[in-house]
């Protein structure tokens, strides 16, 4: 996906509970939490724009975003969006998303104890000698798969919680990290029930 | 007309196979639409053709009002909608037709006005080629409609139209746009009526409030010592029954009532419990009551920045109840204690029932003290002004207009500026749906086309646009529409030769540097009226004011009334930007208002 306006990081756009004036709302620094929202949306032209446009227009952050059709017969897609903000901002984001006509369901995965989050990353590492051996050893510990090899590089495929991928990437950095491609977070609930 | 097109239109109306263009007309009729505001162009000609044929066959069951600019069509539709409670319908062409309509669409979104807009689009196979008069209308309007559609298959059109009306008129009302490529207007499919289509989305707004929270809310009100109702446009949108319920509940609880600009008329100005409008140019008593109350009952309003003033000083010691159909309005700007998602009418009715069921009684002794306090604030007489024998004061002009029209069946629209605030302060509304103004967007140019829409919906009523000489020039072309359709709207211009509200802010905030706010060259409004085929009246003498207003009212024609008023009058009272509700500027401080606002306040809007 091309980074659109929705990728604008309004880091200073967080809202304090009752700021001095509506115009001061963007300048207060308050504790931000990460939140993952799973949305079921009508699979129609422009639906992604509706969601991303809402984030851009209201100054919310998007940390990651994934989208794909998940049910062809009922024309639904699933969007998973990772965002950050003070608790009442997250509440507002959920309410605003629920208001979009094309959005059928909004689920706050972070607040759900049964929520599972996974991400996939492709990681290219270049190196020789002991760095190369070490990269392979670490990848083994993380249960990453080697999906491409040359005499001086590997491409690893790794899945897991975003924090696991972060740790893996940090370990690879001194070993010759060249390039990183991440899917963004996917989510689902434990148990037999569907969204 | 060729024989061929005529033949097609007289096919039996039960025929289900029809073109997309015919579906539009048929669906509008089935939706109970009687008036359509529009402007033709290449990409909507098939629909205009279908309209022509429908008129030939069925008479004018669907009346098309030809405006002079597409912005006018949208504001006229807003006026029609706001004065009737029915959706306003607009039909415009692709490209410039659609872009000209944007201002009114945003206006309707901000003020929650039900509206359905049809735009023509270039044929499907040309979309994306930068074709003549192509604009990405659904892309442009995605952020300023409640929902929008690009129709790709004529078979979907009946469902989309009926869905659009449903979405526009339910929940929090708003504008819905349907973009129809020209080839889709020509192709044929089977029409389905409103009851035959299956909606394709999960849209289901909640109208019934949570009964537990409603019970909690009425108990809180019964215990209140200093309650106040803060009501908004949501009460008007919920229909006249919501206004009736508000009156009942206010009487039961003994609480005073104030309202936002959009909510005027839901509670009668003649009622002793009425405090006047609140907010930036609201009354002293309304703003102080908001600041000092212990229980605030907000119904269908949204804690807008013009209302709250400085947020960290906003009603610091109150418990707040917020009733709104839009869940995202609750806790958006101000944290509340009890948030009830639901339709104002339904929730107010349920509150009345809950109050009775629990046998609650208001605390009359505490309320007596509260009312004494309110009377003390009222004694400040925050709206007083000094009349003059040589110049007409704008406040006086509105007061006289009110006095001379109060016993008539009157509807008021406004433009944007000082005159709008004076109208809100001095015209006393007793009924809902009588007051049409651009609140959220503050659109100069709104009032006259809105008056056209109102007059069409209420042919026998007196419809007055209270205007400024600058604003009126933004959509002056719609006077031609009024003349064409014989709509006797009255345009009452408070002509101060200044963009008065801009001048006031420059005086207040920018060291009296009056940059570009004086109108060096104004038209002769009397001659302008005559040029359009309307009547022009001018008045600058306070002694002649009443007689000339009567002349305006009695004219069966559209009238421009050029009321020359005191040029430098400021609109007061005022809560300056960045100040709290209890820090208002009152009329007597008017001379040194340049010093009231501090540096931080100057940077606010
Ligand atoms: C379309 C638009 N442009 C600019 C403004 C900013 N604005 C607000 S009030 C005002 C002046 C209005 O002047 P006038 O119509 O003469 O009314 P007055 O304040 O003098 O009563 C302006 C320019 C606006 N509200 N709308
Ligand atoms: Mg003026």
| Average pLDDT of the segment spanning A85-94 | 95
> Is residue A20 domain-shared with residue A104, that is, in the same domain?
yes
Q: How far apart are CA B526 and CA B430, in angstroms?
A: 32
Helix (H, G, I), strand (E, B) or coil at B184: helix
Please give the pLDDT value at position B12: 44
| Average pLDDT of the segment spanning B555-565 | 98
How far B86 CA lies from chain A's nearest CA (Å)?
A: 21
Helix (H, G, I), strand (E, B) or coil at B22: helix
> Is residue A41 domain-shared with residue A127, that is, in the same domain?
no
B35-50 confidence digits (pLDDT tens): 999 999 999 999 999 9
> Is residue A143 domain-shared with residue A162, that is, in the same domain?
yes
Distance (Å) from CA B523 to ligand 2 centroid: 13
A8 in a structural domain: no
> Is residue A100 domain-shared with residue A120, that is, in the same domain?
no
Query: Which residue is catalytic, options B22, B70, B163, B566?
Result: B70
The first and second tokens of residue A194, run together, are 């569907």
Q: pLDDT at residue B208 above 50?
A: yes
Residue B75, exposed/middle/buried by CB under 10 A (0-12, 13-18, 19+)? buried
Would the CB atoms of A102 and B201 count as touching at under 8 Å? yes
Per-residue pLDDT band at B596 (split at 50, 70, 90): low
A32 in a structural domain: yes
Q: In what order do the strands lie in the sheet with B274-277?
A: B274-277, B257-259, B227-231, B295-299, B319-324, B338-341
A3 in a structural domain: no
The residue with greater pLDDT, B142 or B583, is B142
A4 in a structural domain: no
> Is residue A21 domain-shared with residue A97, that is, in the same domain?
yes
> Is residue A43 domain-shared with residue A100, that is, in the same domain?
yes
Question: End-to-end distance of chain B based on CA atoms, in angstroms?
Answer: 55
A193 in a structural domain: no
Per-residue pLDDT band at B589 (split at 50, 70, 90): low
Distance (Å) from CA B470 to ligand 1 centroid: 7
A6 in a structural domain: no
Mutate to test the pocket of ligand 1, among B471, B504, B505 (most ligand atoms within 8 A of CB): B471
> Is residue A44 domain-shared with residue A89, that is, in the same domain?
yes
A53 in a structural domain: yes
B288-345 confidence digits (pLDDT tens): 999 999 999 999 999 999 999 888 899 999 999 999 999 999 999 999 999 999 999 9
**What's the number of domains chain A is made of?**
2
- Which are the contacts of B341, defined by CB distance < 8 A and separation ≥ 6? B206, B209, B210, B324, B325, B326, B327, B330
Question: What ipTM was estimated for this complex?
Answer: 0.90
Does the annotation mark B132 as catalytic?
yes
B225-255 confidence digits (pLDDT tens): 999 999 999 999 999 999 999 999 999 999 9
Tell me whether strands B319-324 and B295-299 are parallel, antiparallel or unpaired: parallel
Please give the pLDDT value at position B365: 97
> Whole-prediction pTM value?
0.92
Mutate to test the pocket of ligand 1, among B441, B470, B503, B572 (most ligand atoms within 8 A of CB): B470
Closest CB from B328, B334, B604 relative to A92: B328
> Is residue A18 domain-shared with residue A59, that is, in the same domain?
yes
CATH number of the domain enclosing A144: 3.30.70.1150
B3-47 confidence digits (pLDDT tens): 344 444 444 445 699 999 999 999 999 999 999 999 999 999 999
Residue ending a domain, among A108, A142, A175, is: A108
Please give the pLDDT value at position B275: 98
CATH number of the domain enclosing A102: 3.30.70.260
Number of cross-chain residue pairs from A and B with Cβ atoms under 8 Å apart: 71
Provide the percentage of residues in chain B whose pLDDT is more than 70: 95
> Is residue A124 domain-shared with residue A159, that is, in the same domain?
yes
> Is residue A48 domain-shared with residue A134, that is, in the same domain?
no
Please give the pLDDT value at position A15: 37
Q: How far apart are CA B82 and CA B456, in angstroms?
A: 12
Closest CB from A18, A23, A50 relative to B334: A18
Would the CB atoms of B139 and A49 count as touching at under 8 Å? yes
Distance (Å) from CA B494 to ligand 2 centroid: 7
Q: pLDDT at residue B141 above 90?
A: yes
| Average pLDDT of the segment spanning B182-208 | 94
Per-residue pLDDT band at A195 (split at 50, 70, 90): confident
Domain residue limits at A43: 13-108
Closest CB from A19, A22, A88 relative to B331: A88
For the CA of B570, the nearest ligand: 1
Handedness of CA B397, B399, B403, B408 (dihedral sign): positive
Q: pLDDT at residue B94 above 80?
A: yes
Residue ending a domain, among A84, A108, A132, is: A108
Does the annotation mark B182 as catalytic?
yes
A120 in a structural domain: yes
Going through chain A in order, the beta strands assigned E by DSSP cover 33-42, 64-71, 76-85, 103-108, 115-126, 145-150, 153-160, 177-182, 186-189
Residue ending a domain, among A108, A142, A177, is: A108
Task: Name all residues whose Cβ lies below 6 A of ligand 1.
Answer: B 415-419, 442-445, 468-471, 494, 496, 498-502
Match 């669907």 to its residue by tokens: B62
Contacting residues of A for B202, CB less than 8 Å apart: 42, 103-105
> Is residue A80 domain-shared with residue A28, that is, in the same domain?
yes
Please give the pLDDT value at position B200: 81
Does the annotation mark B133 as catalytic?
yes
Does the annotation mark B213 as catalytic?
no
Handedness of CA B383, B389, B394, B398 (dihedral sign): positive
Q: Which residue ranges form the domains of chain B, and what is each CATH number?
A: 2-190 (3.40.50.970), 211-378 (3.40.50.1220), 394-564 (3.40.50.970)
> Is residue A127 domain-shared with residue A97, that is, in the same domain?
no
């Amino acid at each position: 996906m091309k980074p659109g306006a929705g990728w604008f990081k309004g880091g200073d756009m967080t809202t304090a509970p009752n700021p001095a004036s509506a115009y001061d709302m963007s300048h207060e620094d308050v504790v931000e939490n990460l939140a993952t929202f799973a949305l079921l949306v009508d699979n129609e032209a422009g639906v992604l724009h509706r969601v991303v446009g809402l984030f851009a227009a209201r100054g919310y952050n998007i940390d990651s975003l994934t989208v794909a059709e998940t049910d062809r017969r009922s024309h639904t897609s699933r969007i998973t969006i990772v965002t950050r903000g003070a608790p009442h901002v997250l509440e507002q984001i959920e309410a605003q998303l629920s208001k979009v006509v094309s959005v059928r369901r909004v689920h706050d995965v972070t607040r759900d104890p049964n929520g599972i989050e996974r991400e996939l990353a492709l990681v290219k590492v270049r190196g020789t000698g002991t760095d190369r051996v070490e990269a392979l050893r670490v990848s083994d510990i993380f249960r990453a798969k080697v999906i491409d090899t040359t005499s001086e590089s590997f491409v690893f495929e790794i899945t897991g919680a975003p924090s696991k991928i972060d740790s893996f990437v940090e370990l690879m950095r001194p070993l010759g990290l060249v390039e990183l491609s991440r899917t963004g977070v996917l989510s689902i609930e434990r148990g037999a029930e569907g969204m | 007309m060729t024989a061929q097109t005529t033949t097609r239109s007289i096919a039996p109306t039960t025929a289900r196979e029809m073109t997309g263009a015919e579906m539009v007309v048929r669906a509008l009729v089935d939706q109970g639409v009687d008036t359509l505001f529009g402007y033709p162009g290449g990409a909507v000609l098939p629909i205009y053709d279908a309209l022509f044929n429908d008129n030939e066959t069925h008479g004018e069951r669907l009346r098309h009002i030809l405006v002079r600019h597409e912005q006018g069509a949208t504001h006229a539709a807003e006026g029609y909608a706001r004065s009737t409670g029915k959706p306003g319908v607009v039909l415009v062409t692709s490209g410039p037709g659609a872009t000209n309509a944007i201002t009114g669409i945003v206006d309707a979104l901000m003020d929650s006005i039900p509206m359905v807009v049809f735009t023509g689009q270039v044929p499907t196979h040309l979309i994306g080629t930068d074709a003549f008069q192509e604009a990405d209308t659904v892309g442009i309007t995605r952020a300023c409609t409640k929902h929008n559609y690009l129709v790709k298959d004529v078979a979907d059109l009946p469902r989309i139209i009926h869905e659009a009306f449903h979405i526009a008129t339910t929940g929090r009302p708003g504008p819905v746009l349907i973009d129809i490529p020209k080839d889709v207007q020509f192709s044929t499919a089977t029409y389905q009526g409103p009851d035959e289509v299956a909606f394709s989305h999960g849209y289901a707004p909640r109208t019934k409030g949570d009964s537990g929270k409603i019970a909690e809310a009425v108990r809180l009100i019964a215990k209140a010592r200093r309650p106040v109702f803060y009501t908004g446009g949501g009460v008007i949108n919920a229909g006249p029954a919501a206004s009736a319920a508000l009156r009942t509940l206010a009487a039961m609880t003994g609480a005073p009532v104030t309202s936002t600009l959009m909510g005027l008329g839901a509670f009668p100005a003649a009622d002793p419990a009425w405090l006047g409008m609140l907010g930036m140019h609201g009354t002293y008593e309304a703003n102080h009551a908001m600041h000092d109350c212990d229980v605030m009952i907000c119904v269908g309003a949204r804690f807008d920045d013009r209302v709250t003033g400085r947020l960290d000083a906003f009603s610091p010691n109150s418990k707040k109840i917020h009733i709104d159909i839009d869940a995202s309005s609750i806790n958006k700007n101000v944290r509340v204690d009890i948030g009830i998602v639901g339709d104002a009418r339904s929730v107010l009715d349920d509150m009345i029932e809950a109050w009775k069921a629990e046998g609650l009684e208001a605390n009359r002794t505490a309320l007596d003290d509260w009312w004494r306090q309110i009377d003390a604030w009222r004694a400040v007489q925050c709206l007083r002004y000094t009349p003059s024998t040589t110049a007409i004061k704008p406040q006086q002009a509105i007061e006289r207009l009110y006095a001379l029209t109060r016993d008539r069946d009157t509807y008021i629209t406004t433009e944007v500026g000082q005159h709008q605030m004076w109208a809100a302060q001095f015209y006393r509304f007793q009924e809902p749906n009588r007051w049409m103004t651009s609140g959220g967007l503050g659109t100069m140019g709104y009032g006259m086309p809105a008056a056209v829409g109102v007059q069409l919906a209420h042919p026998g009523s007196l419809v007055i646009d209270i205007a400024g000489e600058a604003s009126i020039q933004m959509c002056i072309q719609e006077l031609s529409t009024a003349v064409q359709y014989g709509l006797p709207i009255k345009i009452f211009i408070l002509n101060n030769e200044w963009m008065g509200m801009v001048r006031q802010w420059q005086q207040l905030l920018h060291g009296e540097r009056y940059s570009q706010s004086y109108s060096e060259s104004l038209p002769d409004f009397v001659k302008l009226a005559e040029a359009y085929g309307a009547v022009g009246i001018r008045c600058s003498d306070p002694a002649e004011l009443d007689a000339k207003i009567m002349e305006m009212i009695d004219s069966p024609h559209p009238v421009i009334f050029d009321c020359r008023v005191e040029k430098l009058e400021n609109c007061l009272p005022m809560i300056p930007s960045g100040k709290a509700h209890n820090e208002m500027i009152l009329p007597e401080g008017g001379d040194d208002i340049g010093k009231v606002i501090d540096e931080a306040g100057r940077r606010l809007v």
